[in-house]
Amino acid sequence: MKAVERMETIAVANTTLHHYHEQRMQSIS
């Protein structure tokens, strides 16, 4: 696995986590 590919995978994972966290925050309030 290339370093660039790993960076992209981490970026996608972070974006997905951030979106999931925002949805949970909205549903609580």
Q: How far apart are CA 14 and CA 4, in angstroms?
A: 15
Summarize pLDDT for 4-28 with one digit per residue, the tens.
999 999 999 999 999 999 999 999 7
| Bigger pLDDT: 29 vs 3 | 3
Helical ranges in the chain per DSSP H: 3-28
pTM above 0.85, yes or no: no
Q: What pLDDT score was predicted for residue 29?
A: 75
Q: What pLDDT score was predicted for residue 20?
A: 95
